[in-house]
């Protein structure tokens, strides 16, 4: 499905919320539902949330109101699977599973069907304590079941992340398991003097695809270093200007260009899952699914 046919998620909810708030506050008030206007300048303190209050709300949302940050903090506590965050993540995963199940029959055009998923805070969750565990992340609630169901229904599975090629094998080890990445099994790792379990999230291996992306033969797309982008990104729609300037290609162009490449290989991307709007904009997916993430915003 090409870019103009992309269907946004819950457009009426966005409209209702946008109308309900004052125009001057709209960019901030609906930041969780649509791309934020980062140039918005409040006229008054009352037009945005105090940062310490927002931190407290984030902790409550993750079911960890007494969480403390830093190496001596509570980062080693497990993700609270009964938190509002976990419930919301499972809700998006369920919406995605229903969408995919209803489209599991082969299309008349004969396109192979696929899903594309971001990694950080889409398939692996990075709550603050995990920042201290050497980027060893737990599976996002609901998402392993979603991917397994989609695979059983015949969907190809591709992961698409802004993580660099140098993290490719480590990402496979975290997403799938250590041996799938060519490592010996790792049970624990030590960080800041704390020993924590090493996580194998248990996703299936992504669907193999050509080795045109960094020489990797699996369907995990990590980002090549500047100067090594594949030729399919070197078009004006995607990364040509960044390539010409010797700069890193912006996320929207990099990820939509990669999805366009996947579709050029005979796949129809039926669902695209990400926690950032920059994962989801730029088309080349029938429907996008926004995973919850109150912690950071990546344009
Ligand atoms: Mg992400």
pLDDT per residue as tens digits for the range 187-208 = 887 766 777 778 899 999 999 9
**Residues 13 and 106 occupy one common structural domain:** no
Query: Is position 298 within any domain?
Result: no
pLDDT score of 117: 98
Question: Contact, 228 vs 214, CB < 8 A?
Answer: yes
Mean pLDDT within 218-224: 96
**Residues 93 and 221 occupy one common structural domain:** yes
For the ranges 109-113, 188-192, 282-286, the lowest mean pLDDT is seen at 188-192
How far does the centroid of ligand 1 lie from the alpha carbon of residue 122, in Å? 6
**Residues 120 and 220 occupy one common structural domain:** yes
Question: Contact, 34 vs 277, CB < 8 A?
Answer: yes
Kindly indicate the confidence band of residue 138, based on its pLDDT and cuts at 50, 70 and 90. confident
Query: Is position 2 within any domain?
Result: no
Question: Contact, 34 vs 27, CB < 8 A?
Answer: no
On average, the pLDDT of the chain sits at 85
124-125 and 138-139 beta bridge pairing = antiparallel
How far does the centroid of ligand 1 lie from the alpha carbon of residue 291, in Å? 9
How far does the centroid of ligand 1 lie from the alpha carbon of residue 295, in Å? 11
Structural domain that includes position 36:
7-48
State how far the alpha carbon of 167 is from the alpha carbons of 74, 199, 223, 228, 248, in Å.
26, 15, 9, 16, 17
How far does the centroid of ligand 1 lie from the alpha carbon of residue 293, in Å? 9
Query: Is position 135 within any domain?
Result: yes
How far does the centroid of ligand 1 lie from the alpha carbon of residue 222, in Å? 12
How far does the centroid of ligand 1 lie from the alpha carbon of residue 277, in Å? 9
**Residues 101 and 156 occupy one common structural domain:** yes
How far does the centroid of ligand 1 lie from the alpha carbon of residue 44, in Å? 31
Q: In percent, how much of the chain has pLDDT > 90?
A: 65
How far does the centroid of ligand 1 lie from the alpha carbon of residue 120, in Å? 4
How far does the centroid of ligand 1 lie from the alpha carbon of residue 171, in Å? 13
How far does the centroid of ligand 1 lie from the alpha carbon of residue 220, in Å? 14
Question: Contact, 48 vs 37, CB < 8 A?
Answer: no
How far does the centroid of ligand 1 lie from the alpha carbon of residue 284, in Å? 18
How far is it, in rounded angstroms, from Cα 269 to Cα 117? Answer: 10
**Residues 135 and 240 occupy one common structural domain:** yes
pLDDT score of 130: 56
How far does the centroid of ligand 1 lie from the alpha carbon of residue 119, in Å? 6
What's the number of domains the chain is made of? 2
């Amino acid at each position: 499905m090409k870019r103009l046919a992309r269907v946004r998620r819950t457009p009426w909810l966005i409209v209702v919320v946008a109308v309900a708030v004052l125009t001057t506050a709209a960019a901030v008030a609906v930041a969780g539902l649509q791309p934020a206007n980062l140039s918005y300048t409040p006229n008054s303190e009352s037009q945005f949330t105090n940062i310490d209050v927002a931190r407290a709300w984030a902790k409550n949302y993750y079911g960890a109101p007494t969480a403390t940050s830093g190496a001596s903090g509570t980062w080693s506590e497990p993700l609270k699977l009964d938190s509002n965050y976990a419930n919301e993540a499972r809700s998006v995963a369920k919406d995605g599973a229903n969408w995919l199940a209803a489209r599991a029959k082969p299309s008349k055009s004969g396109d192979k069907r696929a899903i594309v998923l971001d990694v950080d805070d889409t398939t692996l969750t990075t709550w603050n304590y995990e920042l201290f565990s050497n980027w060893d992340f737990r599976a996002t609630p609901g998402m392993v079941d979603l991917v397994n169901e989609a695979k059983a229904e015949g969907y190809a599975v591709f992961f698409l992340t802004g993580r660099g090629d140098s993290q490719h094998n480590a990402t496979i080890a975290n997403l799938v398991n250590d041996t799938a990445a060519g490592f010996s099994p790792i049970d624990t790792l030590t960080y800041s003097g704390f020993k924590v379990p090493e996580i194998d999230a248990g996703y299936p291996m992504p669907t193999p695809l050509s080795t045109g992306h960094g020489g990797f033969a699996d369907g995990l797309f990590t980002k090549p270093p500047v100067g090594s982008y594949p030729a399919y990104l070197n078009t004006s729609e995607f990364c040509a200007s960044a390539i010409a300037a010797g700069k890193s290609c912006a996320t929207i162009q990099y990820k939509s260009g990669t999805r366009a490449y996947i579709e050029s290989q005979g796949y129809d991307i039926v669902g695209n899952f990400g926690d950032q709007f920059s994962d989801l904009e730029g088309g080349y997916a029938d429907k996008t699914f926004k995973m919850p993430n109150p912690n950071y915003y990546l344009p």
